[in-house]
Structures are given as C-alpha cells and as structure tokens.
Structure 1
C-alpha cells in the first residue's frame, strides 16, 4: 500500500467470542491496518475465554471517518441483555457514512434488532436464530458460510476464516487467486495454497 490505511476498529466487550476475529485482525495488521479496540468504556473487559482486554477507545469516541472498518464479534451479552445495543447503533452510523461493518455470530442478531438486516442479504448461525429477534429480513437470509452485501459482512460462529475472507475481499487486502489461496490454506489446510501465497510474497 502506498498510504497508511485508517485503523480497523475491533469492538470488545464482556463475554466476546475470542476465536471469531483472530484471522481477520492478524492478517489486517500484517497488511498495514492499525487495529484499535473499542469497548463500552475504556474499562477492561473479559472475553469468554478469560482474556482481559484493555480497550484503546470508548465506543463513543469511535468515528466512521477515522476508520476503515468496524468489527463486531459475537458475545453472550448480545442475547442476554441490551448492553451491546450501542454497538449496533454504532454499526448503523458506520453504514450510513459508507464505512464497512463486519458482524459475526451473536452480533448479527444485534444488527437484526437494530433493523440493519431487513433489506440486504445476510447470514448468521441459522435462520431461526435471527427470526427470533422479530426482524423483517428473513427473506434475505442466505444459507452460506459468510455473506457480503454492500458494506456489510455477516457470518456464523463456526466461520471465522470465511468471515476474514469476506473482510479481505471488501478491503482489497487479498484478491482473486491470492484470496482463494489464503482461504484454502487456513480453511482447508491445502498445502498447495501455501506455495501460491509464498510465491506472491516473494
């Protein structure tokens, strides 16, 4: 890249699902994207795996114009309280400003409750999980590992690699043969894909 990209903002909150965003953030960081964590406040949060995270920013201080992407991981709190509703509202702010949002697992239900999945193609864990939110977008549900519609990426909890793939495609981090090779390596353990990636690096 000829210019330093704007940061990617990773939402962090208590009970967040550790495994869902690691592929995306690791390779975005390698591609030159600064990763900034945003919590409900700047107080530490604890992931579902017991990792203690000190947020870089409070959510209120995150602005779409300063960001390349907002990532929303799953968390138990998406389904047990309204504590994370401000993150869904922030996603609306990003999408309204034309800045991408990527949501996985329980975060997709948060977006559904916010009305952000009513009019575009999307996916999640299973269709009836989103249907339970009472949202109006059931006819746009796609039974796929991950879905991109415009500036919005959605994925289910078992698809962190496909989730990352869609993010890379959207931001232009990997494209075409390289994107396919990255996915085949990390999703399918395809040794031939490693050779493609190594060749590109050289």
Structure 2
C-alpha cells in the first residue's frame, strides 16, 4: 500500500508532487518531514515528484551501490543534459569497472 497510508511518510523526510495533495489524505501527518525538492533520500526511503524520476533513479543506484560514483555522475549528467561528452565519460567509466 502507499507509504502515507501505512504512516511511513509521517516518520521520514520525503517529497511528492505537492504538499497540499499529501495534506488532503486523512492518514498523512508528515508535513514537518516534507522537503520541497524533486527527489529526497532518507535512510532507505527514496521519494520523488513526477519531475524527479531521473534523480530518483540515481539515488536508488547509489543506495544499492550498483556503480562507482564516477559512473553514476557521468550517467546522471548524460541523461540530464544529453551532452555527448558525458556519454563518453560514462562508457569509459563502465569499461574501467569491467576490467
């Protein structure tokens, strides 16, 4: 079930598309933990607004330690800017990790 129904958002820093939406839910009491950013990580809880999906994915990969910081940085910059230089850095970093 959704975190606000179970009370998870009442105990951890989090975000959403809009605080007013969460406040309209009877079981939500986490306004003091709400952070007005596109993505927020608090321990193992990672939340994002609809606009924060890229950063949300980055936080998940960081939390799971799937790639080095260098690879994640290049990945994030490439997908957030589309600049070829970051794609080159991403490929080089992945190649380094696989050796």
Normalising by structure 2, what TM-score?
A: 0.85
CA distance in 1 between counterparts of 2:94 and 2:7 reads 42
From 1, 19, 22, give the equivalent of 1:130.
22
CA distance in 1 between counterparts of 2:5 and 2:72 reads 32
What is the CA deviation profile of residues 55-108 of structure 1, one whole-angstrom value per residue up to 9, with x for unaligned ones? Answer: xxxxxxxxxxxxxxxxxxxxxxxxxxxxxxxxx2xxxxxxxxxxxxxxxxxxxx
The list of structure 1 runs, each at least 4 consecutive aligned residues, that deviate by more than 3 angstroms after superposition, is none
Aligned length: 94
Structure with greater helix share of residues? 2
Asked if residue 171 in structure 1 is aligned to residue 64 in structure 2, the reply is yes
Alpha-carbon shift at residue 112 of structure 1 (Å): 1.1
CA distance in 1 between counterparts of 2:67 and 2:34 reads 26
Alpha-carbon shift at residue 177 of structure 1 (Å): 2.3
Question: Gaps (5+ residues) in structure 2?
Answer: none
Alpha-carbon shift at residue 188 of structure 1 (Å): 1.9
Alpha-carbon shift at residue 141 of structure 1 (Å): 0.6
Q: Which residue of structure 2 lines up, in the alignment, with residue 118 of structure 1?
A: 10
Superposition CA RMSD, Å: 1.3
Normalising by structure 1, what TM-score?
A: 0.44
CA distance in 1 between counterparts of 2:44 and 2:61 reads 12
Structure with greater strand share of residues? 1
Q: Which residue of structure 1 lines up, in the alignment, with residue 32 of structure 2?
A: 139
